[in-house]
A and B are shown apart, each in its own frame.
Chain A
Amino acid sequence: MFVRYFVELPLPHGAVEAALLRNPGAWVQGLAQEAEDHGATLLAEVGFGDSMRVERTVAIELAEPIRVGSKIMLPLRWTAAKRAALFPKLEADVEVAGIGPNRTQLSITGRYDPPLGAVGRAIDKALLHRIAEATIKDFLDRIARRIEDQPPEQAEVAASEG
């Protein structure tokens, strides 16, 4: 299934790019887990699963960022630890693209495998897709907030280091 979502940030393209690529392995995992928990809560609200999970249920693998033209893409793979998860597997690219001197689009484009087994059979596909979209939106919003919360000078330093 395909999912796509984007946000606009009132920051220069270079600053967003630098903030995203600054050791993403250290913080993307945490944001993904929070988004997964958010998705699990939504699932629980419609009668599936348990919203009180505390164990790590998602693993994020990041590939090397790829520059395509003026855009930079950070490919990631989202793998669920449990088969009953929202996404058994999601492959996505987080993209940074400038749309003005101080405006940048941060987007995520992904494809996921819907859950199989009992969950897959029981849950309405359209509902599941909405929850998947909400989870992806939540994930990207968290990334955007983290980038925006980063002090400008830190972003500049990160940009110059990149």
Chain B
Amino acid sequence: MKADRAAGTAGDRDAKLIEAGLALSSELALDSVLQRIVDLAAEITGARYGALAVLGRNGRIADFVTTGISAEERAALGDPPAGRGILGVILEEQRPLRIRDVTNDPRAVGLPEGHPPMRSFLGAPVMARGRLFGNLYLTEKREAAEFTDEDEAAILVLATQAGVAIENARLYEESRLREQWLDAVREIATHILSGKIEGDETLELVAERARELVRADVATIAVPEPGGQTLTLRVAVGAHADRLRGWRFPIADSVSGEVIRFGRAAILDDATDDSRAHQPLVHLGDIGPSMFVPLTTGGRAFGTLAVANRSGGPTFGEEDLRLVETFATQASIVLEHERAQAEVRRLMLLEDRERIAKELHDGVIQALFAVGMGLQGAAALSRNDEQAKRIEGAVAEIDRAIRDLRNYIFGLRPGILADRHLDQAIRELAKEFEEKSGVVTVVDVEEDVAGELASLAQDIVQMSREALSNVGRHANAATCRVTLRREDGLALLEVDDDGNGFDPERATSGQGLANLRDRAAAIGGAAEIESSPETGTIVRISLPL
């Protein structure tokens, strides 16, 4: 509605205000309510132009509703006013302001290019129950040089009605948000309690609901790789999700790294301004406002849940932070639950192995041993050489069976690992590799670490074999080193060579790298590859001790 006529008598004015109140109460959508208020304010006071600025949660103008100018004229003016000058005075002093000629007022900061000329001014804060929501102002009274006391009284009534409308809308929005939040929390909790949290489905759900509730363009969950030097974006939803998912980056010199180090959330108004080198969201180049919240377990931060908007999108405030923190807590629970389940499975496996080993050792082997000893005695007593020979053959078979069972019980397998310690097995493997490939191979194994990893010996030997096989097939290396050492509470198996190197981003699964990662993950560890044509390749496998 255009402000093309002024209300006539005081009675007309009162009638308009009553009508405005009724109209306001019948509207539900806040945008419509605010437009109606500005239109009515201009109509009642006879103003040529009117505007209502609504502050966002971050204290900046989030909505700007006008009357008296066309959509094209409005668009030509560019961004809404920043709330300085005369408008800032209203917000700061929170009282009505009436000026005969705004162009002469020393507090004015001027009008943008293309803005219609304005002289008379009447503004009032939009408030409800002591909370400031914005301001309502009118300019260029049509039939007089300045606005009147009656106009001021009318704008106060309308500003108050606008305040109530905005507050109601906010309360409605908050209750809807709370309802959505509760639904999301319930949905995620159901997922967790169902025990079906394998893979990334539940974490994706957490990230998606966090993104929806704060209306962000993208959300990511970063978790650490074993070794603690690298983070991986395990989950990404929304904009750039495919590009972000699986992105691995150093924990040092990244926003996530800082959030983990200090255990405190970080809110960036514009990620493109961030100088830290290694944050995928920063690297994208078109991400502006972002928020990083720590994932914690046992009071220790280990990862981040981040939400972000494209450049120019709304910034995040304290209320967004509180919401995302609840989702970060849930993501932490999911990850901790996942870790605990893996530990339970590992323990169950160990328990099973222990039980089977006990039954085999105390039952089958003892029985075989007794039979073997009996046959051995029978062979000694036999006066028939042929018979004794046959009995000895049977004893030898029993001996072989016992040997196989012992290998099984001790978690050993035939081949290079049979009856050897892990460090010996790695040395033997390296020696074999050197003889076959001609690559000079050095082994450096900390024996106590090898001892602690005895139960994983088969996997470790297999991963070493796989890594050495890659060196032999692809690296064209002259030397190679296999090390097993303790670092930051983890065991670190490294196979590094001085060969051609390659671009890990372009590596194909044919190079066995996927196998290494899968095998490492299966025993609670992780494999990472560092390679370049200048420096050769390092396969680094970190394992829990």
- How far, in Å, is B386 (CB) from chain A's closest CB? 15
A54 interfacial contact with B, CB 8 Å? no
Check A63–B358 contact: CB distance below 8 A: no
Check A2–B372 contact: CB distance below 8 A: yes
A-contact bits for B373-384, CB 8 A (1 contact / 0 none): 100100010000
Tell me which residues from 333 to 377 in chain B have a Cβ below 8 Å from any Cβ of chain A: 354, 357-358, 361-362, 369, 372-373, 376
A91 interfacial contact with B, CB 8 Å? yes
Range class of the B interface residue count = 20 to 34
A49 interfacial contact with B, CB 8 Å? no
Quick one: closest A residue to B412, CB to CB? A63
CA distance A34 to B429 in the complex (A): 33
Range class of the A interface residue count = 20 to 34
Check B403–A2 contact: CB distance below 8 A: no
Check B410–A111 contact: CB distance below 8 A: no
Chain A residues within CB distance 8 Å of chain B: 1-2, 4, 61, 63-64, 66-69, 73, 75, 77, 91, 93, 109, 111, 125-126, 129
Check A91–B403 contact: CB distance below 8 A: yes
Check A68–B380 contact: CB distance below 8 A: no
Q: Which residues from B are CB-within-8-Å of A75?
A: 406, 410, 419
SS class, residues of chain B in contact with chain A: helix
Most buried by B among A66, A67, A77: A66
Contact among A1, A67, A68 with B362 in the assembled complex (CB-CB below 8 Å):
A68
Check B369–A4 contact: CB distance below 8 A: yes
Check B361–A68 contact: CB distance below 8 A: yes
CA distance A77 to B421 in the complex (A): 12
Beyond the given pairs A63-B419, A91-B419, A111-B402, 20 more chain A to chain B contacts, judged by CB atoms under 8 angstroms and listed by A's residue number, are: A1-B376, A2-B369, A2-B372, A2-B376, A2-B395, A4-B369, A4-B373, A61-B419, A64-B421, A64-B451, A66-B409, A67-B354, A68-B362, A69-B354, A69-B362, A73-B361, A77-B419, A91-B403, A91-B406, A126-B380
CA distance A65 to B406 in the complex (A): 13
B399 interfacial contact with A, CB 8 Å? yes
**10 sampled A-B residue pairs with Cβ under 8 A:** A2-B369, A63-B410, A64-B454, A67-B354, A68-B362, A75-B406, A77-B419, A91-B406, A91-B419, A111-B399
Check B409–A69 contact: CB distance below 8 A: no
